[in-house]
Structure 1
Amino acid sequence: MTTWTAPEAHRTTEPLTGDERPMLQGWLDWHRQTLLHKCAGLTAEQLRTAAVEPSNLSLLGLVRHMAEVERWWFRNRVCQDAGATEIYCTDDNKDADFDDVAGADAEADFATYREEVRLADAAVAGLPLDHEFPGTKVPSISLRWVYLHMIEEYARHNGHADLIRERVDGVTGD
């Protein structure tokens, strides 16, 4: 039986000049691929390894979490798609994306993540950055804000991924 390992990620350099939309998309894509890059070559078991007790933060949990976040912001909030509900989290466990990795199927979770990224990009492709939607705590939010928030969210979690990867097998880097 072959052991599944996370595939290599192919990061493209983010744009250094140009219009705002391609720059935001380029930075978001770079961060998406950076998360996958931090996971590349690890087995499902290694991806489930927690950062350090008592934290349950793991690389697989981060991939699952970002699948949830991609779906939530781009499809559920920006596009108001009521069918784009939570993937892993439930009313009983709001942190199931992180909590329930022990028996998770890493290969399936990676496929879910890649599909959520594809669906997120497709959902907003035709919308201008000035597109607004109702916020839950504020009157409105723009798609531009969502791009900036997603870049920030990935940057923060990619920092976590750096530390977790180093704990798993000593690999460090960008």
Structure 2
Amino acid sequence: MTDADVQAVMGSVAGGEREVLETFLDYQRGVVRRKATGLTGEQARLRHIPSATTVAGLLKHLALVEHNWFVRVLGQRPSVLPDPEVSFTVGDEETVPGLIAAYEEACARSRESAAEYPLDHVVPHEWLGQVSLRWILTHMIEETARHAGHADILRELTDGATGTPG
């Protein structure tokens, strides 16, 4: 954990609900980003497990998940998402810095979209009926943290780096 991360999380302990949710989501986003930072394209594409899950694929997948929940669902902006099974597929032309930048841009758009609404704002969802911004933020903490854990294991298998900083 970096000093800034510690300060942000510690500073949110007495904060309001929104501050706590947004701080924890941003913390998990940072963990994912740091897990990919410093890897070569070859390292980020290593498949240590039978599935298509790689550090590079996690970045791409999470950028699409951010878009889905904050732009398509919360913002009610129509868009077509790729099949979830291929959302982890990284093209040969895609680089680690490019994937990190795309993820950071998706997260920035998500923050902008969320800032437009109160936590109680509810939108229709095709499978769940109605979802609130509160639910979306909570779901995204869970989704991002789960994949941050995957990235941590993959990074350890790649070069031995462990922990949240790298």
Q: Find the counterpart in structure 1 of residue 5 from structure 2.
A: 12
Q: 1:128 Cα deviation (Å)? A: 0.2
Q: Find the counterpart in structure 1 of residue 100 from structure 2.
A: 110
Q: For the residues of structure 2 that align with 1:113 and 1:104, how far apart are their CA atoms?
A: 12
> Any stretches of 5+ residues in structure 1 without a counterpart?
1-8
2:128 to 93, 117, 138: 138
Q: For the residues of structure 1 that align with 2:29 and 2:84, how far apart are their CA atoms?
A: 23
Q: Find the counterpart in structure 1 of residue 41 from structure 2.
A: 44
Q: What is the TM-score with the length of structure 1 in the denominator?
A: 0.84
- 1:52-98 alpha-carbon deviations (Å, 9 max, x no partner): 2x22210000000000000000010011011x443xx2xxx542221
Q: For the residues of structure 2 that align with 1:71 and 1:110, how far apart are their CA atoms?
A: 15
Q: What is the TM-score with the length of structure 2 in the denominator?
A: 0.87
Q: Find the counterpart in structure 2 of residue 157 from structure 1.
A: 147
CA contact (8 A) 1:61 1:101 kept: no
CA contact (8 A) 1:10 1:33 kept: no
**Measured at CA, do residues 21 and 106 of structure 1 come closer, stay the same or move farther in structure 2, by a change above 3 Å?**
same
Q: Find the counterpart in structure 2 of residue 60 from structure 1.
A: 56
Q: Find the counterpart in structure 1 of residue 22 from structure 2.
A: 25
- 1:27-57 alpha-carbon deviations (Å, 9 max, x no partner): 00000001011112111211111132x2221
Question: Which amino acid in the other structure matches residue 89 of structure 2?
Answer: D
Q: Find the counterpart in structure 2 of residue 127 from structure 1.
A: 117
Deviates more, 1:18-27 or 1:99-108: 99-108
Question: Which amino acid in the other structure matches residue 35 of structure 1?
Answer: V
**Measured at CA, do residues 105 and 10 of structure 1 come closer, stay the same or move farther in structure 2, by a change above 3 Å?**
farther
- Secondary structure at the aligned position of 2:14 is classed as coil
Aligned length: 159
Q: For the residues of structure 1 that align with 2:48 and 2:110, how far apart are their CA atoms?
A: 28
Higher relative CO (Cα under 8 Å, sequence separation at least 6) belongs to 2
Structure 1 vs Structure 2 CA RMSD: 1.8
**Measured at CA, do residues 101 and 163 of structure 1 come closer, stay the same or move farther in structure 2, by a change above 3 Å?**
farther
- Tell me which protein shows more helix as a share of its residues: 2
CA contact (8 A) 2:36 2:100 kept: no
CA contact (8 A) 1:48 1:61 kept: yes
Q: Find the counterpart in structure 1 of residue 71 from structure 2.
A: 75
Q: For the residues of structure 2 that align with 1:26 and 1:94, how far apart are their CA atoms?
A: 27
CA contact (8 A) 2:53 2:88 kept: yes
